[in-house]
Structures are given as structure tokens and as C-alpha cells.
A and B are shown apart, each in its own frame.
Chain A
Amino acid sequence: MTEQQPHLGDEALTDLALGQVDERLRDGLTRHLGGCETCRSRYAEIADAVEHVLVAAPRVEPPAGFSQRVLVATGLGGSVQTMRPARVRRHHGPSRRTALLVAAALVVGIGVGAAGSAVVGRGTSTQQVAVGAPLRTAAGDAVGSVQRSWSDAGQVLVVSVSGGRAGERYSCWLVLADGSRQAAGTWALDGSGGGSWVVPWPPTGQVRSVEMVSDSGVRWATAQV
């Protein structure tokens, strides 16, 4: 859309700032904002007011033990250290989290090898999705990544998902160069719709792609390795 098109009304901009529009309408409004400086500026003002009002929300102390649960969930605060060896925790850069997950899995050597795949983390951020081969849905949405790495047992694939539905189960299939398929494991996504797993590289051939298939047999996402 361009400046020549009619500007959005305050009602639409307010609904958008309050998150009260459905996905399709939101996409249209967002597209318009992308090309209309006037509306973008008015939207920013409304969104600014919404954010300001949010701060007035009443304070309520959560039940005892809440902060400890959060720290366990993030693996911080000295609660969960096994997945984050000290020597890899100061790694910086855009791929920091994935590097940590991979390094942690490989350093502690959890479950990688003939035993099958291993869970190495509780999810990934959008930033991580850009690392390795993107895992995309048929619609083209990036929902994770697949990265090649190494362990003591040999080559592995690190499959990271960040854009799934919480609790959803998927089977991971490796599609080999000869077209054959090999099951790598079945996993449930965590409460945030994410998860990371280490999959041993098959001894029998090259992996062409990785597929995540739902329990109903629908291929949810694919990564070209």
C-alpha cells in the first residue's frame, strides 16, 4: 500500500494496538502501516499509550517458589547446570543459544549415539532459527532449524523447533539421498512450542532433508540439510 491509499481510522489502529484483530485483518493493517508513514506515526502514538497504561497494572506477588520454577525453566540461578557447562556459558554472538545447546549436548555427551536422539534444551528463539538449515512449513514459515555438528560418537544433527504448538507431538524423519526414510524419534514440544534434539547421523548414507510429521501423518515442516 502507498500514501495515496486512504488512511486507517483510529478505530482500526486502536484495535490493532490492543491486539483485537484477527490474523488476516492484522496482516492487511500491518502491510498498510509498512507503506504509510502517517498511519505508522499515529499507530505508534496509540501503542505508546497502551504500553504506558500497562504499567499501571496491579502488583500481585506470585505463590512461593515461583522464581525458583522460572530459574529451573531457564536453567539459570544455579538450579540446573548440567546442560550448561561453565566453559561454554560465556559464548557470544547471534547463534549463542544454539551454540550453547550443541556444545552442552556434545560436552556432556547426553544420549547421542546408537541410543537415539536426546533433548538438549527447552526451546529456541527466533534468533536461533536463522542458524543452520531453516525448518519450514509448507506455507514457508520458519519454525526452527537443523544444524550439522559433531560429537564423540560422530556426526549429528541438532534439530531445534521454536514456532510450534505447545505440547504437540512430532515424529522426526531423515530422508536419505537414496530416497529412503529413517525414523529419528518422536518428540513433544514444550510449553512454549519449542524444543531441541540431537539426532545421530545415520551410518548408512547422506541425509537430504529432515521432516517433522504430526501424529496424524501430516508433514508439518521440512529442512533441506
Chain B
Amino acid sequence: MQLFSGADRTADAALVAGLAVDDDAAAVAFVRRFQSAVFGLAVSITHDPGLAQDVSQEVFVRAWRAAGTYDVRRGSVLTWLLTITRNAAIDAMRARRPMPVDGAVLEEMITATLQVPGPEDEVVRSTERDAAVARLRALPPEQARAVVLAVIGGRTANEISVSEGIPLGTAKTRIRTGLRRVREAMEADRD
């Protein structure tokens, strides 16, 4: 099994350092290492593989430009890249005409996120992702769904209230409470 652990954080940071000095080998390794995570999040938000490709490419170009400013103390490379991806994908969605998203597509995205990785996923497994999935699965299901839709699906509270068939206030409460519990679980694990 290939697990990316704390030691991999250092390796990831080294790849970014290589990217910052235009090291070709580091650039190739960097893109190949993170492309499935970046593209996966871009698809989750855009539901459009073509647009997700454009967004993902833009994310790597932005990462290349900003590689010199990356600070390993502020978070993992994966988190840094995915934050860029989320912002870029949401911007891309706002720039185009609003289109309704099929409920089945959202269900598929929620299921794929909360699914315990199987043996076939071992190549792309990471301890960081395993921990995040476990904490989401520990939430009450309705909160986990709201958090996944808001964070990974890039949906607004209003959109979540419609797709989940709940009042806006309830959608906001589920997101807020779910995120607070995730945070509490993170702190408990650090203690």
C-alpha cells in the first residue's frame, strides 16, 4: 500500500521547492502526484470535465507562480493546492451562466467523498485523506452531507437548502455545526 504520511509532507514541500527554482523533474513529479486530487475537486465543483481540466491547469500554473511563497508551516502542499483549486473552480462557475445541477450528480459526489477507500484505491490513498474522510463519516449523516456539499461541492447554503429540501437556516446550521465538530475532532486527535 502506498500511504502518504508526515514524511511525505516533507517530500511534497521539497517538490514545491524544486518547482520554485524551475526544476523540470520536480515539476513533472509535482503535477503527477497531485493531478488526481486537483482534478477530482475541480470536477466535484464544476461537474464539467472540460471546465475542470481548464481549472486544474490554471491551478498548477498558479502553484508554479506562487511556489516561492509556499510556507510548509501553514499547511500541507495538498491543502494549499486544493484551496487554490476550490477558489479557481468557484470563480469559473460564477463566470458562466448558472445551470441547475442534477441531484443524482450531487449524490454521486457525496457518496464518492464519504466512501471508505477500497483496495483498488490504495495507490492514491493518503493518511491525510483517510483522516478527513473518517472525520466526515463520524458526523451525523445530514451534517456530513451539508459539509461535503458546501466545501467539496462548492454549493451555497441556499443551493443546499433547495437540493436537500430543508429551510435555509437549517442548511446553515448543519454546515456550521458539522465544521465545528470536524474542528473539535482535529483538536482531540492532536491532544
Counting residue pairs across A and B whose Cβ atoms lie within 8 Å, the total is: 172
Contact of B62 among A19, A89, A192 (CB under 8 A): A192
- B53 near A66 with CB under 8 A, answer yes
Contact of A57 among B66, B76, B82 (CB under 8 A): B82
A78: B residues at CB distance < 8 A: 24
- B133 near A56 with CB under 8 A, answer yes
Contact of B49 among A59, A63, A71 (CB under 8 A): A63
**In the complex, what's the smallest C-beta–C-beta distance from B186 to chain A, in angstroms?**
6
| A49 at the B interface (CB under 8 A) | yes
| A82 at the B interface (CB under 8 A) | no
| A24 at the B interface (CB under 8 A) | no
Q: A49-B182, A191-B58 are in contact. Are A76 and B64 (CB under 8 A)?
A: yes
| B136 at the A interface (CB under 8 A) | yes
| B112 at the A interface (CB under 8 A) | yes
Tell me how many residues of A have a C-beta within 8 Å of chain B.
50
- B132 near A56 with CB under 8 A, answer yes
Q: Which of B31, B87, B109 counts the most A-chain CB atoms under 10 A from its CB?
A: B31
- A77 near B28 with CB under 8 A, answer yes
Contact of A50 among B36, B64, B151 (CB under 8 A): B151
B106: A residues at CB distance < 8 A: none
| A149 at the B interface (CB under 8 A) | no
Q: A56-B136, A57-B41, A59-B40 are in contact. Are A19 and B35 (CB under 8 A)?
A: no
A120-128, A130-138, A195-203, A204-212: which lies at the interface:
A120-128
- B53 near A62 with CB under 8 A, answer yes
B7-15, B96-104, B172-180: which lies at the interface:
B172-180
Q: How far is the CA of A123 from the CA of B68 in the complex (A)?
A: 16
Q: How far is the CA of A70 from the CA of B180 in the complex (A)?
A: 37
For residue B38, which residue of chain A has the nearest CB?
A62
| A54 at the B interface (CB under 8 A) | yes
- A51 near B83 with CB under 8 A, answer yes
Contact of A19 among B87, B126, B133 (CB under 8 A): B87
Tell me the chain A residues, 62-117 only, with Cβ under 8 Å from chain B. 62-63, 66-67, 69-71, 73-74, 76-78, 84, 89-90, 92, 96-97, 100
A15: B residues at CB distance < 8 A: 157
Q: A10-B176, A14-B175, A61-B36 are in contact. Are A127 and B57 (CB under 8 A)?
A: no
Q: How far is the CA of A137 from the CA of B148 in the complex (A)?
A: 38
For residue A50, which residue of chain B has the nearest CB?
B151
| B113 at the A interface (CB under 8 A) | yes
B16: A residues at CB distance < 8 A: none
A58: B residues at CB distance < 8 A: 40, 44, 109, 112-113, 152
**In the complex, what's the smallest C-beta–C-beta distance from B129 to chain A, in angstroms?**
5
| A53 at the B interface (CB under 8 A) | yes
- B109 near A53 with CB under 8 A, answer no
A127: B residues at CB distance < 8 A: 66, 68-69
Q: How far is the CA of A57 from the CA of B36 in the complex (A)?
A: 10
9 A-B pairs closest in CB distance: A56-B132, A76-B27, A58-B112, A125-B65, A60-B40, A57-B41, A62-B39, A49-B183, A59-B36
> Can you list 5 A-B contacts (CB < 8 A)?
A49-B179, A58-B40, A61-B36, A71-B28, A122-B61
Having A50-B179, A70-B31, one finds 18 other A-B pairs with CB under 8 Å, namely: A17-B179, A49-B179, A51-B75, A51-B83, A52-B79, A53-B147, A55-B76, A55-B78, A56-B129, A57-B41, A57-B113, A60-B36, A63-B49, A70-B60, A71-B27, A84-B22, A127-B68, A127-B69
